[in-house]
Amino acid sequence: MNTLSAPKNLTRNVLIGMGLGILIASIFYYSQNALSQSLSLGIEKYVFNLGGQIFKNLLMLVVVPLVFFSLVSGISSLSNMVKLGSIATKTIGLYLLTTGIAVSLALFFGWFLDLSGTDGAIAPYAPPLGDSSLYGTVLRIFPNNMFGAFIENNMLGIVFISILFGLALNLTDDLTNGLSKNFERFNIVFLKVVLLIMSFAPIGVFCLMGSYVMDKGLDIFGDLAEYVVLLIFVLFFHLFFTYSLILKLFANLNPLTFYKKMRNVALFAFSTSSSAATIPVTLKTVTDDLGVKKDVSSFVVPVGATINMDGTAIMQGLATMFIASTVGVDLTLIQYGQIVLLAIVTSIGTAAVPSAGTVTLALILGSVGLPLDAIGLILAVDRILDMIRTSVNVCGDAAVSCIVAKSEGEFDQEVFDSRI
């Protein structure tokens, strides 16, 4: 018996949980006048909000140790240090390429379909705390306190520490009596913890979806319907066309097999709205179902959760065009170029947590002279869109993992072609 096998019928159960969450929360939301206010608030707070937050906390609980142990064990087991440099170069290059394609597609479809703004009032926007500048992003890669990086969930810093530790362990393995094997054992333990948490996924997704519906109801789009529909279209176009194209061109892999095996990961990403929280599920799927060897997946997936923000780049491009139209500003060709460049660069510093893209959207709006208060328009519908964007992001992480692994000879075609 494989003790690291995923729970049976997980996809079906998660979909059932999602549907029941929407249905039951809708009943309570639209029956608030018939129910006491304390009962409705109690159900929202102590059932949906509390249950959803506990599930997300459990996922985030294992992210840092899993990233650390998987990266350290993967790098410490490499027999050729030159290969690490090759993997890193291809990974970062492909991530930046797909992000550039993503924001370019957004701007093209926004221009081609003549995306227009809205006459609604602009809600005030309070910028979040934290340094999202290039200076601050680079500093986060090199933390001055190892434990501080872990406590703050500084993923850029954690990846750097893990690589450094893995390299040192690789070079001193003979002196430490095979200490690297212990990191591999810890990695297996945390993978098992992930599977235990996944057993409660249907309940967690039920609570997360219920929490969202209780907050907004089903009337989530309002006057922003054109922006929302176009954004969803571009996200799915990028997901199914761009990723299919690069999988076929760069790795000659069957996109249908890829999407079929990624459905669980996409569902988790959709429900959590966090690439970081989905790392454990992504790592297991990429390694066990897609055939990517651990040496590659342990590096590419955590890095992707940090710098691969294709869905966010699409949102930033369309949101900038939408806001420009709303306030009556015609963007120039140079400004379009600025948007593409900034979307690529800022994707490296965007945190892998829900709605973090609004931080870098503020930077892009400022660079083209648009009011930051206009972000309030986008935030009104951003929650559901952020869920879809995250699904796109994690599928991009997996696609790049397959391509890099295939090019490095670290790919098992039989595992990829096998049924699940």
Give the pLDDT band (50/70/90) at residue 223: low
- pLDDT digit string (tens) for 244-281? 999 999 999 999 999 999 998 998 888 877 787 788 88
Domain assignment present for residue 169? The answer is yes
Give the residues across from 411 on adjacent strands: 292
Task: Say what percent of the chain tops pLDDT 70.
Answer: 84
Highest mean pLDDT among 138-152, 282-296, 319-333: 282-296
For residue 5, is it left (φ>0), alpha (ψ between -120 and 50) or beta? beta
* Tokens encoding 78: 């490499």
Q: From CA 381, how far away is CA 315, in angstroms rounded?
A: 12
Give the pLDDT band (50/70/90) at residue 38: confident
Domain assignment present for residue 54? The answer is yes
Q: From CA 344, how far away is CA 109, in angstroms rounded?
A: 18
* Tokens encoding 52: 């959803």
Domain assignment present for residue 171? The answer is yes
Domain assignment present for residue 151? The answer is yes
Q: Which domain holds residue 34?
A: 10-417
Cβ atoms of 391 and 307 within 8 Å: the answer is: no
C-alpha distances (whole Å) from 255 to each of 248, 279, 290, 297 are: 7, 21, 11, 19
Domain assignment present for residue 128? The answer is yes
Q: From CA 149, how far away is CA 133, in angstroms rounded?
A: 18
- pLDDT digit string (tens) for 96-118? 899 999 999 999 999 888 876 55
The single-letter code of the amino acid at 271 is: S
Q: Tokens 């995306």 sit at which residue?
A: 115
How many domains are contained in the chain? 1
CA-based torsion, 389, 315, 149, 52: positive or negative:
negative
Number of H helices, E strands in the chain: 21, 0
Residue 219 pLDDT > 70: no
Give the number of residues written for the chain: 420
- pLDDT digit string (tens) for 154-197? 777 887 888 888 888 888 877 777 787 788 788 788 878 877 88
Report the half-sphere exposure of 222 (CA within 13 A, side-chain side). 15
Domain assignment present for residue 55? The answer is yes
Domain assignment present for residue 334? The answer is yes
Highest mean pLDDT among 82-91, 217-226, 348-357: 82-91
3-state secondary structure of 292: strand
> 59-68, 86-95, 195-204, 398-407 — which is least confidently predicted?
59-68
The CATH code of the domain that includes 109 is 1.10.3860.10
Q: From CA 265, how far away is CA 290, in angstroms rounded?
A: 12
Domain assignment present for residue 350? The answer is yes
Q: From CA 206, how far away is CA 344, in angstroms rounded?
A: 34
- pLDDT digit string (tens) for 1-30? 455 565 667 667 877 888 898 889 888 888
